[in-house]
Amino acid sequence: MATDAAFLLVSFGGPEGPDDVMPFLRNVTAGRNVPDDRLAAVAEHYDLFGGVSPINEQCRELMAAIVKDFAASGIDLPVYWGNRNWHPYLADTMRQMTAEGVTRAIAFATSAYSSYSSCRQYTDDIERARAAVGENAPRVVKIPPYFRHPGFAEAFTSATARALASLPEAIRDAADLVFTAHSIPETMAAASGPTGGAYQAQLAEVAARVAAQLRRNTWRLAYQSRSGPPTVPWLEPDIGDCLTALARSGSVGVVVVPIGFVSDHMEVIFDLDVEAARTARELNLPMARAATPGTDPGFVAMISSLVRDSASSWESPPRAAPDHAEMLSSDIASLCGPGCCSRGGGQSPSHPQAIT
């Protein structure tokens, strides 16, 4: 591959110690006039975990897995990592790449779906980082939403099967599947994708595929981490309300599958492992939580596949259309274009009640 090219892992970022929490929260909410007492209330979530979000360490583990898989797959690209909201910041990573002679890069974001906060905002932050570095900054091509790649659903299928197996044998076959994702304002959801409504549709598509691979005919999609004023409608039902409805309908148990996340963000370990788990206990509803993909070998191999196909456009003579384009279907080409995934109205889910 080209010697001036690189791979860039782009993630949200998170605090790595108690002293980081408030500065991190101020970064996430910059320009929104969120008072420190409100941020302090959210900081208590981090206090339960020693002031540390798991996301940075998981990015390090994912980087190591990517480097290993690249080597095995014959992908000769240096691997860089930059965050939107905490060290290593994207702009700092872009400066390092520039200093080391990188002129172009393929970016992979730790978010698989179409919406302003899960796709467009990553692209905007990459461009801001390039602007901060100047005209010599590398050109960056972001891999589009990859929710439809088989490796993505397969990672969740394996994790869901393991979660089901952790339930008592007497109930596991009858346990309900509840797929969860970060809630976003309805106006943002309506503006997601090239023609609107893509976020919910993509989540439902992945949920249906995972359920089908497990030979399950029924499942539910719920949302978590809602924030903002109650007068602004966000996607529902909330995971807690969904669990309550299942218990009232006679459910014998549930497996919660966080298909909206590729790693264990704070939303996963607090909103699901703490709050949703507490709700399930209060309802006497046995609950297991499926793991996020993290460094699942199939998920890492998916990243290598997407990078290889994206890098094919650098080769001469041009190769045929990338394999993943067909795999993801023809409408992928229309994603991430001008006007796709506008912010819509309402509060962004990067509100301090719903941060990583």
DSSP 169-205: HHHHTTPEEEEEEE--BHHHHHT-TTTS-HHHHHHHH
CATH number of 5-147+295-354: 3.40.50.1400
pLDDT at 228: 72
150-289 folds as Rossmann fold (3.40.50)
Q: Would you kindly state where each structural domain of the chain is located, as residue ranges?
A: 5-147+295-354, 150-289
37-47: burial string, b at 16+ Cβ within 10 Å, e else: eebeebbebbe
pLDDT at 339: 67
pLDDT at 355: 41
Using DSSP's 3-state secondary structure scheme, residue 42 falls into helix
pLDDT at 337: 66
Q: For residues 298 and 302, what is the distance between their CA atoms, to the nearest angstrom?
A: 6
pLDDT, averaged in runs of 10, over the chain (356 residues)? 88 97 94 88 95 97 98 97 97 98 98 94 96 97 96 98 98 98 96 94 98 97 88 95 98 98 94 98 98 98 96 55 40 58 60 42
pLDDT at 349: 52
Q: For residues 102 and 96, what is the distance between their CA atoms, to the nearest angstrom?
A: 9
- Cβ-based neighbours of 146, under 8 Å, separated by 6 or more: 112, 152, 302, 306, 324, 328
Common-topology check for domains 5-147+295-354 and 150-289: yes
CB 67 within 8 A of CB 79: yes
Q: Which of 30, 257, 234 lies closest to 163, judged by CA?
A: 257
- Kindly report the pTM of this predicted structure: 0.91
